[in-house]
Amino acid sequence: MSASATGLYAGLGEPMDDVRSIAVLRANAVGDFVVALPALEALRVAYPDARITLLGRAWHAEFLRERPAPVDEVVAMPGFPGVDAPLKAVQDASVQERFVAEMRARRFDLALQLHGGGRHSNPLVRRLGARVTAGFHTPGAMPLDRMLPYRDLHPEVLRLLEGVALVGACGHTVEPRLAVTSHDRAEAAAVLPVSGRPLVVLQPGAADTRRCWAPWHFAAVADHFAELGADIAVNGTEAEAAAVSAVVLATQHRQRVHDLSGRLSLGGLLGLIERARLVVSNDTGPAHLARALGVATVAVYWVGNLIGHGPTASARHAAAVAWRLDCPVCGQNCMSTNCGHTASFVNDVAPDEVIALAQPLYEGPAPADAMLPETHPEAGVHRLTQP
């Protein structure tokens, strides 16, 4: 019996014979990719000789280009409303049809839908013409050959592991891992040279402003650790520059606080986080990157999001939880609906609560497996090739 047949969710689905090519649809954001890594690793172990193609986004291809990964290539999606584009986005039917034709020509043996409930993604996966399709479905979604119901309020990393078990890929770990390359480290050092002092990374932005803790709360955390002798790196994209600047301007120790908004690629951010003693973040991609490197984290969560994307280990990770259910603007309960307001749901979390969670993690030793050197990737890990 193979190792994959005895892992998580063993017996849910039989492995397939003679699988040479696999397509996986997972075309979303950074954190969503990181939580999918254990499932992708399980798929790689179950089908070691198959070519695994991630149907993702352009950023996936850039991020994975020279990085050990469980997939062999990334094909960037061209924009399908409800899949990798908003429902009302302008469509280019000719580009979509060309993409589908190119994918059908590859004659995938297996196509996995790991991209949500399937209302919009299952028809696309079916159109790929794979020998077997598998994945999730909500009521009314087009059926696949092997299916699981997509239910709300489930841990996403476990959901995806259960999804690949449909085809006999049974994982043995729920903790994602990412490798850091020498290029990542060089980029990080060029932006923020190594000082010899402890490094704390703060991430005050997020795609959804309702998940954003207030800049003055982050500033209180920055000041606390600056007073302990740490350097503070406040990270963000160019679009998050205002949030980063607000944190820096609210601190009392600006000589120790560094504004890195828009200065690092995603790989460069990995190189920076690898050096950190602690990451304090909103519920967003960099928190997941830190966990995938074994770096200690405290993330601020709205309770509804904690269930799906909270940490799966407690030794090095903590969650500060906002229990607010009602919109701070209109008072509507938002557990199952979105009222449309963008005010923060997490500002009720006090800085002292986050600092109390963070302090013992800051004082603790770095984990032995925090680094996965580029020159010594784990056995069996593939490097991405270009299509």
Nearest residue to 16 (alpha-carbon basis) of 168, 165, 152 = 168
Q: Give the rounded percent of residues in the chain with a pLDDT score beyond 90.
A: 87
pLDDT over 80 (residue 366): no
CA distance 244 to 202: 9
pLDDT at 2: 59
pLDDT for the residue 216: 97
Considering just the CA atoms, what is the radius of gyration of the chain in Å? 21
| Per-residue model confidence (pLDDT) at position 364 | 85
Cα–Cα distance for residue pair 231/254, rounded to 1 Å: 10
Residue 120 has what DSSP assignment?
A: T
Per-residue pLDDT at 375 exceeds 80: no
Q: Is 4's pLDDT higher than 90?
A: no
- Whether 289 shows a pLDDT value over 80: the answer reads yes
Q: Are strands 68-69 and 382-383 parallel, antiparallel or unpaired?
A: antiparallel
Which residues make beta-bridge pairs with 24? Answer: 54, 112
For the stretch 190-220, pLDDT in tens is: 999 999 999 999 999 999 999 999 999 999 9
Task: Answer yes or no: is pLDDT of 299 > 90.
Answer: yes
| Secondary structure class of 201 (helix, strand, coil) | strand
Between 187 and 372, whose confidence is greater?
Answer: 187
89 band by pLDDT with thresholds 50, 70 and 90: confident
Residue pLDDT, tens place only, 235-278: 999 999 999 999 999 999 999 999 999 999 999 999 999 999 99
pLDDT mean over 368-387: 43
Residue 91 pLDDT more than 90? no
* Phi, then psi, of 199 in degrees rounded to 5: -115, 130
pLDDT value of residue 141: 96
Residue 3: pLDDT band by 50, 70, 90 thresholds? Answer: low
Residue 226 has pLDDT above 60, yes or no: yes
What average pLDDT does the chain have? 92
Question: What are the start-end ranges of the E strands in 28-95?
Answer: 51-56, 68-69, 73-76
Indicate the pLDDT class of residue 336, thresholds 50, 70 and 90. confident
The confidence score (pLDDT) of residue 374 equals: 41
pLDDT at 373 over 80: no
pLDDT of the residue at 370: 39
Buried residues in 268-294 as b, exposed as e (16+ CB within 10 A): bbbbbbbbbbbbbbbbbbbbbbbbbbb
Compute CA distances 50 → 21, 46, 47, 132, 228, whole Å.
5, 9, 6, 14, 51
Average pLDDT over residues 147-175: 96
Contacts of 175 (CB under 8 A, 6+ apart): 38, 291, 312, 313
Q: What percent of the chain has pLDDT over 70?
A: 93
User: Which residues neighbour 330 within 8 Å (Cβ) at sequence distance 6 or greater?
Assistant: 339, 341
Alpha-carbon dihedral 286, 290, 296, 298, rounded to 10 degrees: 20
Q: What is the mean pLDDT of residues 12-33?
A: 96
Tokens of 114: 């790991």
Q: Is the pLDDT of residue 161 over 80?
A: yes
Please calculate the CA angle 265-267-271 and round it to the nearest 5 degrees.
110
Residue 56: half-sphere exposure toward Cβ, Cα within 13 Å: 24
pLDDT of residue 323: 95
Cα separation, 338 vs 332, in Å, equals 9
Catalogue all structural domains in the chain, each as residue range(s) with its CATH number. 3-177 (3.40.50.2000), 182-363 (3.40.50.2000)
Joined together, the tokens standing for residue 139 give: 């009521």
> Predicted confidence band at 383 (pLDDT cuts at 50, 70, 90)?
low
